Amino acid sequence: MDNNNVQRDGFTSKFGIIAAAAGSAIGLGNIWKFPYITGVYGGAAFILVYLICIAIIGLPVMLSEFLIGRRAQANAVGSFKKIAPGTPWYLAGWLGLAAAAVILSFYGVVAGWTLDYVFKAVTNQFSGMTPDELGGAFGGLITSPLRPILWQLVFMALTAGVVLGGIKDGIERYTKILMPLLLVIIVVLDIRAITLPGASEGIKFLFSPDFSKLSGAAVMSALGHAFFSLSLGMGTMITYGSYIGKKENLGTTALQVTIADTLIALLAGLAIFPAVFAFGIEPGAGPGLVFITLPNVFNMMPGGYIFAIMFFVLLAVAALTSSVSILEVVVAYFAEEKGISRKSATIWAATGIAVLGAFESLTYSVVDFTLPLYKGGEVLTLPFMDWMIELSDLMLPIGGLFISLFVGFKMLRSDVEDEVTNGGEVKVGYLGAFLFLAKFVAPVAIIIAFLNMLFGWL
Ligand code: PFF
């Protein structure tokens, strides 16, 4: 497992680190989910709360993950075992592995829908459809038994293909190409959206807060989404941190990744809401915003054919650079802890997770498998796929709680300082503030959010 003669695979450049880590963070969460929850919770006020969560919880947890991984030079489970041998802390790594399997299983299904929409956009299938027909087409896709699974398998194969190459020749290589592409596409879509007549209503919706719409549920959603969007709480950034060179400044890297993720979420909102408002459509559209509302918008927009293709390619690219980071958590564990070859680990992990995801997809169509979920003071009965999505919302904050407590209370302060300052090479003025956030602010906020999620106080 710990072979000092063999050079550990890792990132080779600063840009590679940012491309991979920001690639993990920027995903369906930013472009599919952030806009629709912003729509549901009323716009700018929600965004403001989200930004606060990112700053005081997201950022310290990301730095914590990076420093755990780089200190230990190991996967999510191995890192805890190395830093705190003989203690049960490694269970936090296990929780992360479980969360990775849960998330990638449904993530692959949703990413499969986006591939189906790339296909539909290219073959011009939206054109001439009424809004009702577009709604029906989306419903038809997700409730058909085979089609979503075929696309999910294509997407999982692409994910495995990237991960098979390893870090330098796989993940870094592809994210360095895909992330600039993603940026170019989103900027083009932004320019298109904000130059539409009537776009200003959408911009106002995004940037002028109406605090009367801010409910407790909105605050909790903002916190949960901060974890999901920044890829925190399940060891992704621990695993990636273990591939970051010893000379890199972890604090700056965490800050850059956080800013990139937040910026892209805002740019996604800016590509979507001005266009939605310009055509007089209601913004609070829920999960169908991207798959139903937007094709409708593209139908009305000059040049809509090409912008539709760009948009769904953007979603697919964003999803791929995230899914590879999730699969890597599982692969690194099996390769390092269990001594399985990277190739077998990748193939088996991707296959197992794809089968789980395919089963989840079927619970929207032919398989009647629901599970109960206790949330907000009531028991909900959900199809297995939705249940898994809800489960991940609980797992990530719990993982984040353990990670911040581990850095705050279990690791020696001198070790944390050594890692954050690269052995005294770089000066950091924020160590005290960081530890305060990791020890108290993040854990207390997560516990309150978690209890609220269960019991629905707010
Ligand atoms: N951050 C990704 C997104 O916003 O779509 C999803 C994700 C990736 C969540 C990796 C968790 C993770 F560990």
Token pair in block for residue 304: 């809509």
Which is higher by pLDDT, 96 or 283? 96
Whole-angstrom distance, CA of residue 402 vs CA of residue 398: 6
Angle, CA of 330, 311 and 195, to the nearest 5°: 140
Angle, CA of 255, 258 and 261, to the nearest 5°: 150
Q: Which segments of 363-422 does DSSP mark as H helices, in order?
A: 384-405, 413-420
Q: What mean pLDDT is predicted for residues 49-73?
A: 97
Least confident interval from 235-239, 279-283, 323-327, 380-384: 279-283
For 408-422, what is each residue's pLDDT tens digit?
Answer: 999 999 999 999 999
Confidence check: pLDDT of 233 > 60: yes
For 344-365, what is each residue's pLDDT tens digit?
Answer: 999 999 999 999 999 999 999 9
The alpha carbon of 194 and the centre of ligand 1 are apart by a number of angstroms equal to 28
Q: What mean pLDDT is predicted for residues 134-163?
A: 97
3-state secondary structure 261-325: HHHHHHHHHHHHHHHHHHCCCCCCCHHHHHHHHHHHHHHHCCCHHHHHHHHHHHHHHHHHHHHHH
For 252-308, what is each residue's pLDDT tens digit?
Answer: 999 999 999 999 999 999 999 999 999 888 776 677 889 998 999 999 999 999 999
Confidence check: pLDDT of 396 > 50: yes
Short-list 241, 176, 218, 293, CA closest to 48:
218
For 376-392, what is each residue's pLDDT tens digit?
Answer: 778 999 999 999 998 99
pLDDT value at position 6?
A: 64
pLDDT value at position 40?
A: 84
Cβ of 111 less than 6 Å from ligand 1: no
Q: What dihedral do alpha carbons 116, 117, 121, 127 form, nearest 10°? A: 110
Short-list 246, 256, 191, 293, CA closest to 67:
246
3-state secondary structure 337-350: HCCCCHHHHHHHHH
The alpha carbon of 85 and the centre of ligand 1 are apart by a number of angstroms equal to 29
pLDDT value at position 7?
A: 77
Cβ of 106 less than 6 Å from ligand 1: no
Residue 214 pLDDT grade (very low, low, confident, very high; cuts 50, 70, 90): confident
pLDDT value at position 212?
A: 83
Ligand 1 atom with the smallest distance to the CA of 261 is 4
Computed over every residue of the chain, the mean pLDDT equals 94
The alpha carbon of 240 and the centre of ligand 1 are apart by a number of angstroms equal to 13
pLDDT value at position 2?
A: 46
Residues 6 or more apart in contact with residue 403 via CB below 8 angstroms: 61, 64, 65, 68, 92, 232, 233, 238
Residue 41 pLDDT grade (very low, low, confident, very high; cuts 50, 70, 90): confident
pLDDT value at position 188?
A: 95
Beta bridge partners of 373: 380
Short-list 304, 301, 282, 303, CA closest to 293:
282
pLDDT value at position 199?
A: 94
Cβ of 446 less than 6 Å from ligand 1: no
Angle, CA of 23, 174 and 249, to the nearest 5°: 50
Token pair in block for residue 452: 């609220």
Residues 6 or more apart in contact with residue 438 via CB below 8 angstroms: 60, 61, 64, 404, 405, 407, 408
pLDDT value at position 1?
A: 44
Whole-angstrom distance, CA of residue 28 vs CA of residue 320: 9
Nearest-CA residue for atom 12 of ligand 1: 231
Short-list 22, 51, 54, 59, CA closest to 404:
59
Nearest-CA residue for atom 11 of ligand 1: 231
Token pair in block for residue 374: 């206790």
Whole-angstrom distance, CA of residue 251 vs CA of residue 270: 28
Nearest-CA residue for atom 10 of ligand 1: 231
The alpha carbon of 18 and the centre of ligand 1 are apart by a number of angstroms equal to 15
pLDDT value at position 79?
A: 98
Ligand 1 atom with the smallest distance to the CA of 319 is 5
Collapsing DSSP to helix, strand or coil, 407 comes out as helix
The answer to whether the beta carbons of residues 210 and 44 sit under 8 Å apart is yes
Confidence check: pLDDT of 232 > 90: yes
Nearest-CA residue for atom 9 of ligand 1: 231
The alpha carbon of 414 and the centre of ligand 1 are apart by a number of angstroms equal to 31
Confidence check: pLDDT of 5 > 70: no
The alpha carbon of 110 and the centre of ligand 1 are apart by a number of angstroms equal to 13
Cβ of 239 less than 6 Å from ligand 1: no
The answer to whether the beta carbons of residues 400 and 227 sit under 8 Å apart is yes
Element (H, E) at 250: helix 250-278
Collapsing DSSP to helix, strand or coil, 8 comes out as coil
The alpha carbon of 29 and the centre of ligand 1 are apart by a number of angstroms equal to 7
For 403-453, what is each residue's pLDDT tens digit?
Answer: 999 999 999 999 999 999 999 999 999 999 999 999 999 999 999 887 877
For the whole model, what pTM was predicted?
Answer: 0.96
The answer to whether the beta carbons of residues 196 and 28 sit under 8 Å apart is no
Which range of 22-26, 36-40, 41-45 scores highest in mean pLDDT? It is: 22-26
The alpha carbon of 424 and the centre of ligand 1 are apart by a number of angstroms equal to 32
Percent of the chain with pLDDT over 90: 84
Token pair in block for residue 327: 């699969």
Query: How many CB atoms are closer than 10 A to CB 359?
Result: 17
Cβ of 229 less than 6 Å from ligand 1: yes
